[in-house]
Structure 1
Amino acid sequence: MVKVVIGEESQLKSAEDRLLKSSILAEVGIIVGKLSTNSEKGFVYSVIPAPSTDAGNPACSLKAEAEGRGDRKKGAKGGKSLAEANPSLLIDGEWVAEHARQVSRMLLGGMSVVGIYVWSSEAAFKATSTLVFSQVIRGVAQALPAFESKTNERLLVHISYSPRRWACRNFSVASADMRPCDFKMSKILNLLQMYRCIYNFDLRVPVFQDDVSTSRTFKNLLRTTIACHAKELQSARALVDGKLANEDQQVTFEGSHTVELLLPFKTDAYVEAYSSEEILGVVVLRGAICASSYLGPKEPFLQALSDLKKDVINSLESRLEIVLDESDDKLDEALADAIEAGDRKPLHQHALKEVRKSLALSFPRRVLIPWLSGTFICDYLLHSETFEDLSDRCREMMSMEAPVDPSALQEVEAEAAILTTASFWEAICGNSLPTGEEPKSRNPATEENSPGKQKPFNFNLQAALFMLLVALLVGFAFTFFKSN
């Protein structure tokens, strides 16, 4: 259980100065940090305010303020004035949870959304029911990736301006209990060590007849595949800077470190042979991910390795969600040749039995963005997006006031991950797309009618007939000259 919370002094003081200079009476946002599993410490790297809702309203406001406006309009008599009323907080929990989900995509390993903060007076905070904070924190926990949601603890930080002070509470998601924590500030971001690796993956998922008969979708199939690969990834060993690392060792030297993940040989691989009646197709997800993680002081390398593996899975799931959320013409164009005409739906709503031909889609590329004190966050760029789109998301989601400098970005992935589908015979004949090839919609009818291309079967038959004819002529000539 977390008993001591340490916040990054420079970032938290800057956030407090911003709030004091503004005329905001109430604000809510998320906390980016880390809850250490090896000690009773928690770390707060930054606090990020929740953006305004789609209607332009703040995510947090004072309930008494809204009621006071109504009383002034009606000219209420005998009621309490706004100053005399006990103010309470109104928080849009769903909006805060969605903001936490979007921010979690942009965080690298070793950093996560660990709770929420509230800016208000001490009176407003005490007048707000504990149930309100419980619902908001639970919503944030449920919106995070599955491996982050397993953590039972979250933080609730109250920044009070009357009186001026910081207070922290440890919230149990399971029991809804809140316990006070010791809160102090120090310089912690410059003590983080960065670990980075290029992880190559090639996930091949057979599509069985049962999958089609049960109307299983692409979304469920790929999520199950990523979840199974996450279990396999847990047993991977690592090379750190070219040397086999001991998981319990302490890495004392600073700077960034290069890691190579070593997967063990599969002992439970499929050894049975299947026919085309049992396997109708294969879904292939392959590419290279630049994974990163941050390790705090006095933490074992085992923690950095675990955070790297989580970053790999989080990156795969984030890209899958981004592709499935897209509903523009690019997906429709890619699905046009793979799905029967007139059946236009988002990709995740299509059952596997509806896909008749080969299909290839590119996943977005990961780009690293400078953030705080030499640390980085990430974002994902589709082919149709530019760096301006990336800058807009950073301004909205991460509250980055300065525009992102394109020259400071790190495009660590040269090629995007590719999702392809192929029939059974295409898969066993090795006709899937190479990793570096740009995915295109294939049209077998066009290839068949192409005048400049002959079928391999016809070419082999003609060559065999030609060789047989030559052999007969040589045999006949040899017999004729021998008889003479």
Structure 2
Amino acid sequence: MKVLAYDEAFAASLHKLPVLSDPKELKLGVVIGIPGPKQAVLVHVALTPPLEKPTDKLDQWVAQHAKQVSRMLPGGVDVLGVVALCSPDVFEKQKSLVKQALSSVHKTLAKTHQLQDYPQRVLLHIDPNSFKLSSRLIDSSNFSGNGFPQDAKQVKNCTNFTVLESFLPLHFLGHISDEVVGQSLQKQLASTLKFIEDAVSSGDVLIEGQEITPEATLSSFSSENEGELRVQFAVRQIKPQPCGAIPLTTCGATVSIRGGFQVRAIVQSKATSEEAINAIKQDAVRNLRSRCGMHCEDLLVIEDEQRDPSMTHELPKRIFLRRSHCPSTVPFCDFVFHGDDPNDSLQAFLEILGLEVKPEYIERNSEKAPRGDIQDARDAAQVEEMVEDIICEGAKQLQKDPSNIIKLGLACSVAVLAMLVAYILLVRH
């Protein structure tokens, strides 16, 4: 990544960066782009929101912001490093602080699914007065070092991207060991998702229904499809191993995953099929992890639901920005829970990415709410809860007055009848 390329639209967007109220002020953020062996393409810089508390550490705050940003990226796009918006004098004085933030960002993102391990990270400085860009590549093994200069320059047509789209259906039954079942919901899901991630990573990918060699470029496809390609996943079935090949563990729980989700990636128009496949696989794994992570974070305040073994979990759905309204035509995304208004994401796009988004900019129907078996499970759970309430109320009445045994019998009869009616309705449905 000796060159950090950007287009005319990005250069114009620099004039929309916030004006610093104090000449000594320093604003940090993250650099978003598409990596390459010789040239990385800079698509957007997202400034980190102000600290919530004066006691918060700036480097950790920027790292958490980078993690949130990574959830909103399509495949093929990563957080490349850290940007500092300040005068040259302030940058020289605060360079150690900026490098500390860069180190924290690297450590945090190492736990996510990136395109590569990033032996070097981008340290970008933007002068708010001249809008001049200067960049250096800092060695990830020595963030205190000076690194190497990186040529940040405007390159014509560097953002002529090809969009890869796919829909990945899931129908998976996993087993959770006794050792894991007592841990948090997120760790339980992680143990299950590993099988899916391994299957996706090792599976084949067809581009427009064709299997092509890793060295082949996408030029022949994209010229016919106006920069958009359909991708199909061919996931191999996991073969059972011999009984003596793997250790046997007791099963503490099972988890059934059903549904499907949208997968999208961005690659340069001259990318090879290998680069395209890596990008689309990255998005499949990363956005599935993001959904599970957000769902578990949402349940932190509802401890009972985390421990309920029979609960049906609905992961959030994904919405995309229309490419015509995105920086460098990169379809940034967000996740919303079923039943929530997609317009709620407008604030997230503004706070996390610094994008002012209007409701009409959002693709609302990329994914649909769950139906079928999930809806049936929800209805059955409601009936079960109603039956338990009836029986509990009858037991309370019997405890108060033993002569209420007849009332309890009637309550049980009503409960059985309710279960029968509900079963018939579910079958008809």
State the TM-score bracket (shorter-chain normalisation).
0.7 to 0.9
- Conserved 8 A contact 2:41-2:159: no
Pick one of 279, 294, 300 that aligns with 1:307.
279
After superposition, where does 1:118-267 map in structure 2 within 5 Å?
118-130=84-96, 132-144=97-109, 145-148=111-114, 150-161=117-128, 165-176=132-143, 177=145, 178-188=147-157, 190-212=159-181, 215-252=182-219, 253=223, 254-267=226-239
Deviation of 1:22 after TM superposition, in Å, equals 5.5
- Whether 2:41 is the aligned partner of 1:43: answer yes
Measured in 2, the distance between the counterparts of 1:303 and 1:24 equals: 44
SS in 2 for 1:170: strand
Name the amino acid aligned to 2:7. Answer: E
- Whether 2:382 is the aligned partner of 1:434: answer no
Q: 1:193 to 1:181 in 2, by over 3 A?
A: same
Q: 1:261 to 1:127 in 2, by over 3 A?
A: same
Name the amino acid aligned to 1:107. Answer: L
Measured in 1, the distance between the counterparts of 2:419 and 2:311 equals: 22
Deviation of 1:439 after TM superposition, in Å, equals 3.0
- Conserved 8 A contact 1:362-1:439: no
Measured in 2, the distance between the counterparts of 1:270 and 1:192 equals: 46
Task: Tell me the equivalent position of 1:361.
Answer: 313
Measured in 2, the distance between the counterparts of 1:393 and 1:114 equals: 21
Larger RCO: 1 or 2 (CA < 8 Å, sep 6+): 2
Name the amino acid aligned to 2:119. Answer: N
Task: Tell me the equivalent position of 1:3.
Answer: 2
Name the amino acid aligned to 2:142. Answer: S
TM-score w.r.t. length of structure 2: 0.78
1:148-196 deviation line (CA, Å, top 9, x unaligned): 2732221011112577632110012222242111111124464100000
Name the amino acid aligned to 1:446. Answer: V
Measured in 2, the distance between the counterparts of 1:190 and 1:154 equals: 21
SS in 2 for 1:413: coil
Task: Tell me the equivalent position of 2:50.
Answer: 52
Task: Tell me the equivalent position of 1:117.
Answer: 83
Task: Tell me the equivalent position of 1:466.
Answer: none
Name the amino acid aligned to 1:157. Answer: L
Q: 1:159 to 1:414 in 2, by over 3 A?
A: same
In structure 2, stretches of 5+ residues that fail to align are 389-411, 422-429
Q: Percent identity?
A: 19
Q: Which moved more, 1:142-151 or 1:190-199?
A: 142-151
- Conserved 8 A contact 2:5-2:154: yes
Name the amino acid aligned to 1:375. Answer: V
1:312-358 deviation line (CA, Å, top 9, x unaligned): 11111111111111148xx84xxxxxxxxxxx4572xx4xxxx4x52
Deviation of 1:111 after TM superposition, in Å, equals 1.0
Would you say how many aligned residue pairs link Structure 1 and Structure 2?
375
Deviation of 1:308 after TM superposition, in Å, equals 1.0
Name the amino acid aligned to 1:143. Answer: T
SS in 2 for 1:242: coil
After superposition, where does 1:314-353 map in structure 2 within 5 Å?
314-327=286-299, 332=302, 344-345=303-304, 347=306, 350=307
Measured in 2, the distance between the counterparts of 1:186 and 1:296 equals: 13
In structure 1, stretches of 5+ residues that fail to align are 60-90, 333-343, 419-432, 456-484
Task: Tell me the equivalent position of 1:336.
Answer: none
- Conserved 8 A contact 2:71-2:334: yes
Task: Tell me the equivalent position of 2:366.
Answer: 412
- Conserved 8 A contact 2:84-2:98: no
Q: 1:99 to 1:454 in 2, by over 3 A?
A: closer
Task: Tell me the equivalent position of 1:390.
Answer: 345
Name the amino acid aligned to 2:347. Answer: D
- Conserved 8 A contact 1:30-1:117: yes
Q: 1:12 to 1:116 in 2, by over 3 A?
A: farther
Q: 1:360 to 1:189 in 2, by over 3 A?
A: farther
- More helix as a share of residues: 2
Name the amino acid aligned to 2:127. Answer: S
Larger Rg: 1
